[in-house]
Structure 1
């Protein structure tokens, strides 16, 4: 009798926890959620262009994705689609077709593919419903779908461990504009780009990361951010953001030092050279309390992504008013945001110099702790070639070539082709390496 009562109680609690109007069992809810999403799951195989010691190679990698529109748009991760020269997609019915990379955003690790529907036998494609990540709760049951280690159509189950996980600005977890959903559902290499779903079969996150040699630690990008970024990619291939050239520190530990325990806002910790913030008169130590009347709160580290996003969403080239606190006094400063200078472009192979370079993105800028965003990053050096002989290394940032400023990849290409057209015998390079200035000369061998 007591056993029967316990069974009834557990069944009732399961129904209450998951908001069910009918006495559906937990197992049936899992099946239903799976069946709503599995038909739209995609096994993604990009053929990537990579450089190893300066040598161009092609490699096939594995990731996941999910169809989210009847037009055949697929969400996946930027790190899955990056540098892809061709993308193969295997659908749930095992049809294998190609897809086009519409665009991607390295700052949020989101990419959008477009299935080539004319290759399909079926007249239409299934697609998922995108849910609301703001409604997630710690302890909520979720399913992770994808192709872990290439094992397609895999499903794992777990709970939401955290809805606001923040990571220090280094390593693969770098993401300036969002907090992470943490889950103990199994996420492994190959799951990247696959959906994290609730028991209603709604996508609440896009699986993106796992911690190597750790168990039950997986991380997903909140679907509300994914929806916003994916639509911007579809509308214009790239995500355009405003930039002020600021970095912040949580305010909590500095209130006593600043002499105001009730102070709120974001503490300015760094201002880039030649940035709109520096030109406006902002100073390190200022506390920004409002941006265009939007209250700013950055008490803790996990508040910082939202502050960055508020700035990134400002209209470009339109003045913004900042309400600041400075040494006990309140001021208003006007600053005009400019387009974010971090442009993601494919790597460029300077074959005659034996090196590969790329633009400095936000992630590279923060990861390498660069003082500003000027220059191009050396990503690969061909053994025995000119760059190698001049002792260039992966991770070097080229700032000047023969005295000409290199602001970005466009500048580098222009100087490179100009010097090669004149067959210059010596190329003088100014670099940054490990935070220090470094100079070197590439010398072409004399022709007999």
Structure 2
């Protein structure tokens, strides 16, 4: 009997079509099973998008920045010769930004990324129906790169918040946002991984969801949805040189801070007061630690909850509330998940393998409580925002060990600070003769600085003084 020859190209096409058909069937089945009682049409993704997109918003920001009037304004020789006078040869120009967000309450509270709205002088929110609203910042949380803004409205569409702890790797997800200004763009992918860590020069974050759903500039702050139309993440970051790699803040982290941002404008996050590093085999051998996991306490902040509870340098924290601590990053995440005033039970191993159980009442992050209102008022009058001097900043600026203080992260155009020549990146080392060690001492110094104020400022290897009156 004569055998029929099969065309290789035809055989390949049949195989490809079979794979595509099976993929479509499995996706449709997944959608149907995850939707509960929802009845889908023949296009399930479109049904979810149609249902959720009215609550997804586009965010446009305008920030006034100073621009040199001369192309030679950044010339090192001119800066050395003219010094702070060069700052007067500038003009104010608007810098525009775009991002995304989604409505979480019917009266207009919107969740987005901190970096979308940070420093903005004007914020405009656009709805999918074309309506626009002015918005104001209610609160921000740079640690999680989250922010809450508000528009005035009633009976607005809202996105339900899901449970990111239940998300599985390989689960289908939908991203909606405003990439490159293209409004209401929808992309589909899967959860590629969980608990990803990102490290950059001035930013670090642990616990990201990773997805291959296309996320581009402008998607920041938009929702990552599951197949029930619930938010499981807030799209926040991409790797510029890679394709198919995007990251989202798990929504359960956002839930922890959302109420605090709305009520207080800040997060009352718990504070332990230790500097930690990974546990190495060499450290374990020398200190007699019989554990392969844990976080080594490299130093204890004086007066912190950790010191009050008896933690010491060299202790290895191996459990928090009965849950194993994998490493220093895991400990950070576990403490971050608590609020000030929470009680946590730590299991530690001390030199020689001595096991101790310690109960700690977490405090507030230094500078976040007493004096915060007066600090905010003073900073607003001066026209600056400040942040702690991180190890990364010290290394980048090659700061001498003797230089301590707070770093100016932003100078408001036309403000008092702008007028006396302060710049972003300056380090404030003294306030009216009082040495500034950190945010806490800065808070204590400023309320005394009524009337005339003299700041000692470090910049480019030298210290100089600026003075003004509040």
Give yes or no for contact 1:171–1:367 (8 Å, CA) kept in 2.
yes
Give yes or no for contact 2:386–2:408 (8 Å, CA) kept in 1.
no
Deviation of 1:15 after TM superposition, in Å, equals 4.5
Specify which of 217, 221, 225 is matched with residue 245 of structure 2: 217
Specify which of 314, 326, 338 is matched with residue 285 of structure 1: 314
Task: State the alpha-carbon separation in 1 of the partners of residues 303 and 167 from structure 2.
Answer: 41
Aligned residue number for residue 152 of structure 1? 183
Q: Secondary structure at the match of 1:164?
A: strand
Where in structure 1 are there 5+ consecutive unaligned residues?
118-122, 421-426
Give yes or no for contact 1:251–1:299 (8 Å, CA) kept in 2.
no
Higher relative contact order (CA 8 A, sep 6+): 1
Paired residues, what number? 414
Q: Secondary structure at the match of 1:205?
A: strand
Do the aligned partners of residues 278 and 398 (structure 1) sit closer, same or farther apart at CA in structure 2, a change above 3 Å counting? Answer: farther
Where in structure 2 are there 5+ consecutive unaligned residues?
1-13, 68-86, 396-400
Aligned residue number for residue 142 of structure 1? 173
TM-score for the superposition, normalised by structure 2: 0.73
Matches within 5 A, 1:26-425: 28-50=43-65, 58-117=94-153, 124-168=155-199, 170-171=200-201, 173-175=203-205, 178-251=206-279, 253=281, 254-262=283-291, 264-278=293-307, 280-291=309-320, 294-300=321-327, 303-310=330-337, 312-315=338-341, 322-327=346-351, 328-333=353-358, 337-343=362-368, 348=379, 357-360=384-387, 365=390, 367-368=392-393, 375-379=405-409, 394-406=424-436, 408=439, 410=443, 413-414=446-447, 417-420=450-453
Q: Secondary structure at the match of 1:61?
A: strand
Deviation of 1:247 after TM superposition, in Å, equals 2.6
Task: State the alpha-carbon separation in 2 of the partners of residues 428 and 202 from structure 1.
Answer: 50
Give yes or no for contact 1:289–1:295 (8 Å, CA) kept in 2.
no
Q: Deviations over 1:140-169 (max 9, x none)?
A: 22221111112211112222111110123x
Aligned residue number for residue 20 of structure 1? 33
Do the aligned partners of residues 252 and 307 (structure 1) sit closer, same or farther apart at CA in structure 2, a change above 3 Å counting? Answer: farther
Deviation of 1:267 after TM superposition, in Å, equals 2.0
Deviation of 1:77 after TM superposition, in Å, equals 0.8
Q: Secondary structure at the match of 2:175?
A: strand
Q: Deviations over 1:27-84 (max 9, x none)?
A: 7221122112111110111233556669765433211111122222211111112223
TM-score for the superposition, normalised by structure 1: 0.77
Larger Rg: 2
Give yes or no for contact 2:428–2:455 (8 Å, CA) kept in 1.
no
Task: State the alpha-carbon separation in 2 of the partners of residues 443 and 235 from structure 1.
Answer: 36
Q: What is the RMSD of the two structures over their aligned residues, measured on CA atoms?
A: 4.2
Q: Secondary structure at the match of 1:200?
A: coil
Aligned residue number for residue 423 of structure 1? none
Task: State the alpha-carbon separation in 2 of the partners of residues 94 and 220 from structure 1.
Answer: 27
